[in-house]
Amino acid sequence: MAILVVGSVAIDTIETPFGSVDSVQGGAASYFALAASLYDTVRLVAVVGEDFPPPFLASFQARGVDLRGLRVMSGATFRWGGRYHLDMNSRDTLFTELGVFADFRPDIPDAYHDSAVIFLANIQPQLQLEVLRQMTVGAPASRLIALDTMNLWIETARDALTDVLRQVDIVLIAEEEARQYAGTTSLRAAVRHLFSLGPKVLVVKQGSYGALLFSADGRFFAAPAYPLEDVRDPTGAGDAFAGGFLGYLSSRITAGHPLSALDYRRALVHGNILGSFACEDFSVARVKALTPSEIAARYREFVDYTHFEGTWSSEQ
């Protein structure tokens, strides 16, 4: 079994109050793949141009990412430039050069059809639908489909987005985008609206404040964010979060465990952990260098940071 991601692989230029980097590894699928591959085998469907730097490819290969779905087309790789404001909560896009990504049509290799988890990273909902159209054969019964989205698609492709929402099991969405999609200021009402479309699990991302987990059967779990010393570069934090969350779930499925409510909670904590590591350095630098023992240590910190009843390992 394995986890399939479809999304953007890009070359980024980033400015934050802590510095700037030029032509670094980026794109939602890059952050996701490097994070999720710490937990399970990742299969990547994306497109790059002939200018895609070999060291970026090597970073995927070092983690055993299956690249049979990565198309190299003649032309330029998707390039994105962004500048963060002092508070790191808002950013300006400096440029977007789609390059070969403009003509991206996902083509899922046959060998990927048995993936246990599918992550539709933040791309046009029409492309997310196209992936699902191709994934109809050989699907394991327990297959989980998850999607991420953004305000742009809520505004410009709402109907297609609604079509995808009806076909997925897990939705990862920022709090303000959940409210925006549902047209309400009440997060609870927004969550009910999203569940009415079919998903069984909702992950509401709150940026530097953590994440909330809702399930269609009424369960709720909240995980605060890891208290970082500095956020050097928040680019890709949400995708690394998705990688930790779905990577953990995929690893449990691969190990033969039926997923429990507790697995989803622990997955959310792993999402927070990977999101926090992603912010510690520019581009994918920190996630690329991350080790399982660093994840385990931060997980123990999270248990200590959040528990106040019952027994847990740390002495109080």
Within 268-307, the residues that bind a copy of itself by CB under 8 A are 268-269, 303, 305-307
String of contacts with a copy of itself for each residue 133-172, x by CB under 8 A: ----------------------------------------
Instruction: Give the pairing of strands 10-16 and 144-148.
Output: unpaired
The binder of a copy of itself chosen from 183, 218, 227, 292 (CB under 8 A): 227
19 near a copy of itself (CB under 8 A): no
How many chain residues bind a copy of itself (CB under 8 A)? 41
Residue type, 268: L
| Alpha helix (H) residue ranges in 9-84 | 28-36, 54-62
Burial of 260 (0-12, 13-18, 19+ CB in 10 A): exposed
Residue placing its CB nearer to a copy of itself in the complex, 125 or 247: 247
Which residues lie below 8 Å from residue 208, measured CB to CB, with a gap of 6+? 88, 89, 225, 231, 234
The binder of a copy of itself chosen from 63, 266, 286, 298 (CB under 8 A): 266
223 near a copy of itself (CB under 8 A): yes
Query: Exposure pattern of 204-213 as b/e (b: 16+ CB <10 Å)?
Result: bbbbbebbbb
261 near a copy of itself (CB under 8 A): yes
Q: Is 218 helix (H, G, I), strand (E, B) or coil?
A: coil
Q: Could you tell me which stretch among 99-107, 146-154, 187-195, 279-287 binds a copy of itself (CB under 8 A)?
A: 187-195
Q: Is 221 helix (H, G, I), strand (E, B) or coil?
A: strand
90 near a copy of itself (CB under 8 A): no
- Cα–chain-centroid distance for residue 15? 22
Contact 215, 203 (CB under 8 A): no
Burial of 120 (0-12, 13-18, 19+ CB in 10 A): buried
CB of 229 to a copy of itself, least distance (A): 5
Within 196-215, the residues that bind a copy of itself by CB under 8 A are 206, 209-210, 212
DSSP string, 229-281: S--S--TTHHHHHHHHHHHHHHHHHHTTPPP-HHHHHHHHHHHHHHHHHHTTS
CB of 269 to a copy of itself, least distance (A): 6
Please give the DSSP secondary-structure letter assigned to residue 29.
H
The binder of a copy of itself chosen from 74, 90, 262, 292 (CB under 8 A): 262
CB of 15 to a copy of itself, least distance (A): 15
The binder of a copy of itself chosen from 28, 88, 279, 284 (CB under 8 A): 88
Q: Could you tell me which stretch among 83-91, 114-122, 137-145, 278-286 binds a copy of itself (CB under 8 A)?
A: 83-91
Footprint of a copy of itself (CB under 8 A): 17, 86-88, 185-189, 206, 209-210, 212, 220-225, 227-230, 260-262, 265-266, 268-269, 303, 305-313, 316
